[in-house]
Structure 1
């Protein structure tokens, strides 16, 4: 028996081109969440190296933020938990990573392959290149706060890069890491339209200055 095949349209004929763009963007966000969850599981099963995992997750997080930087897409998205509930997404590993806003290797200082290292006077392994990068990143974030940078869009990438560069500097314990991670997560949970309160900005600057001084004591 011959059956007529009929193409099924993803959009109603009355859907505007802009509405289609928004829906397509949300579809990409959905796909990113699913892919991120698989990457998280692959890393937990030791199927990915720390380097591969970190690079992939950073790329996925950047794409996720890029789509949601569009105000209309973000409005339709509504929030991670709302989006998750609406589409019944059960990707718990990905949801956690999106809430934290950084790879687990960055959050917990899991070492990746370092560049050339040297020994500090106390015998700890130190990456000279990463020390310079971390120093520059500390100064960059502190200067940004002094210049009244307050939004998630501006501060979160700087904080993430700072943590990553501190990790690259060596495997020694860094007592202010937890505090910097907490600030990075707090900023990541802000809405695009939100800004840090002046009191929070002053507290963050204080913690950064203390962390910067402590970082150098580890190099002595």
Structure 2
């Protein structure tokens, strides 16, 4: 028979004190928001987070040729639209702040999504479907009308992002359907597109910016007409 080992000390049994007992109902749902407005705000911020992550994954898939161009373009356009729509709400935009701050707060990298959001257009809009095809008359007319519409809006003093940004998007998309060649001041269209894209929805260009914008879009329109002439 083995002799029972004696402990060097007498263990004291643990007896929980009554004042340490939990007062929390573990079956009760923990609410992150106190009001419906707060809940809607958190839902919107969560949606923006998912859009950024999804957009970054989409850009990676496109670079690896893992997704057809048509599907990429449609999905990317939809995500960018959802991103802008979410930030159109002033309370959401105030809580969101700047994209870089939001990424830092929630530990997001997403460099490809960041660049795509900065430009505000899918990568495919900068590429012509058939570079060897001659410019279709209808496409030329459409691009020309888009230039004229923008310039008329500027002359009327319309300076808000919500007015100018969609018109500028129409121009770059219609121009790229006509030609994939660079022309004088085409880069200015992209620069202003990025500038407007980074503004808040309620922001407007000041008088000096609007004058510069009009001058550079006039020059871009002239450059577009010159390339159509083969100059």
Please report the TM-score for the alignment, with normalisation by the length of structure 2.
Answer: 0.81
Residues 51, 113 of structure 1: 8 Å contact kept: no
Q: State the 1:131 CA deviation.
A: 1.0
Note the 1:79-90 alignment, pairs <5 A: 79-90=98-109
Q: Specify the alignment match of 1:44 in structure 2.
A: 63
Q: Specify the alignment match of 2:223 in structure 1.
A: 214
Q: Specify the alignment match of 1:66 in structure 2.
A: 85
1:127 and 1:38 map into 2 onto residues whose CA distance is 35
| Distance verdict in 2 for CA 1:143–1:15, change over 3 Å | same
1:8 and 1:177 map into 2 onto residues whose CA distance is 56
Count of residue pairs brought into register by the alignment: 203
Residues 57, 103 of structure 1: 8 Å contact kept: yes
> Does the residue aligned with 2:167 lie in a helix, a strand or coil?
helix
Pick one of 35, 40, 52 that aligns with 1:16. Answer: 35
1:72 and 1:24 map into 2 onto residues whose CA distance is 12
Q: State the 1:65 CA deviation.
A: 0.6
Q: Kindly provide the CA deviation profile for residues 108-140 of structure 1, in whole angstroms up to 9, marking residues without a partner as x.
A: x212369xx5xxxxxxx2122221211111111
Note the 1:125-164 alignment, pairs <5 A: 125-164=134-173
Q: State the 1:206 CA deviation.
A: 1.1
In structure 2, stretches of 5+ residues that fail to align are 1-25
Residues 50, 112 of structure 1: 8 Å contact kept: no
Residues 80, 120 of structure 2: 8 Å contact kept: yes
Q: Specify the alignment match of 1:121 in structure 2.
A: none
In structure 1, stretches of 5+ residues that fail to align are 118-124
Structure number, greater radius of gyration: 2
Q: Specify the alignment match of 2:185 in structure 1.
A: 176
2:27 and 2:58 map into 1 onto residues whose CA distance is 36
> Does the residue aligned with 2:135 lie in a helix, a strand or coil?
strand
1:51 and 1:209 map into 2 onto residues whose CA distance is 32
| Distance verdict in 2 for CA 1:86–1:128, change over 3 Å | same
Q: Kindly provide the CA deviation profile for residues 11-61 of structure 1, in whole angstroms up to 9, marking residues without a partner as x.
A: 33x610011111101111111111111111111111233333222212111
Moved more, 78-87 or 44-53: 44-53
User: What is the RMSD computed on CA atoms of the aligned residues?
Assistant: 2.0
Residues 127, 170 of structure 1: 8 Å contact kept: no
